[in-house]
Structures are given as C-alpha cells and as structure tokens.
Amino acid sequence: MSSAVINKDVTLKVGDTIPEGTFKYVPYSPELADNSATGTPQDYNITAEWKGKKVVVVSVPGAFTPTCHQQHLPPFIQNYPQFVQKGVDILVVISANDPFVTSAWGRISGSPDKIIYASDMDASWSNKLGLATDQLSKVGFGVRTQRYALVVDDLKVTFIASEGGLGLEHSSAEKILAHL
C-alpha cells in the first residue's frame, strides 16, 4: 500500500497506529426510516470498533455540501459491494457536522445501514492527523475536516490520501478501491 498525501501538514504516516478518538453518531434503526425520528447520538470509539478490522475512512468538509453530497459520497455508496469484496469490514464517513446531520445525510443518501456516518464535530480528531482545515472560516463555516481518505488495517494506517483542498483527485472511491 502507498500514500497519496499531497498536504505537507499531514502528521499521520503510513505504518502509524491510528490515534485514539471517539466520534458521535446515530446508529441506524428502522425507527429512523420515516425521517420523523432523530435517534440518540452515541459514542463511536474507533480503537474498540476498528481493532482487528479493515476500515476505510472518508472525510468530507460538510454533509449536504455540493461536492461532498453530489460527487464524493455517491460512488462510495454505489461501490460499497466492491469495498466488501476487497475485505473492507467498515466504511466510515466523517465530517465536522453534528451527529443528527450526519445521520440524516446517511438516510437521505440511501445507505444508512451499511456505512457509519460519524461526526468529528470540532474536527479535533482530524486535527490530530494534521487533516483539519480552516479554509472555510472566511465564509463562516469554521474549522472543518479536510477532504481525505484513510485505509486502516487493525489500527495501522496502510493508505492516506489528502486533497489539501476541495478537489476529488486522490480521495475518490475509485482511487481508494484501486489501492485496496
């Protein structure tokens, strides 16, 4: 496995153990299907959840934003079976939105029961990796998670792809599948 890092600020390296962290998320349940319920946010401890598993982490600056919602997320949903065929146990999408927003995004996108939609609300976990961004503060969005993707195998990083901006050159589903 290799790295497609293009952002000089990334502190995480291939071969590193993933830093500890806890996201918030709303686990999918049938009660959420009609969109009138909101669910209850729970902790998602990555060390406990990812130990012994192959995980693909996709980070986006914001749910429901044009590039994230229309271009970045859909190929991960469409190619979900290919990720599973390549040995991926868990596919996680994170953003700096709150867990109610990430949960709604998963339901609207049509994949709430396959993909974990988690919240790195203040981008603190992404910041540990050198993958938070303040590019969007100038338009009132504050610190966000960058657009990036990781492959983690039993808590070890095997691939990193950071856009260093808002494009989709390195962190697309197709690029990640090619590296698995």
Given 68, 101, 116, 160, the catalytic residue: 68
pLDDT band at residue 122, thresholds of 50, 70 and 90?
confident
Mean pLDDT of 60-72: 73
Contact 59, 91 (CB under 8 A): no
Contact 28, 118 (CB under 8 A): no
Report how far Cα 150 is from the mean position of its chain's Cα atoms.
8
Domains and CATH numbers, the chain: 4-179 (3.40.30.10)
Residue 22 pLDDT = 95
Residue 5 pLDDT = 47
Rg (CA), the chain: 15
pLDDT band at residue 41, thresholds of 50, 70 and 90?
very high
Residue 169 pLDDT = 80
Contact 95, 131 (CB under 8 A): no
Global pTM value: 0.88
Whether 73 is catalytic: no
Residue 89 pLDDT = 98
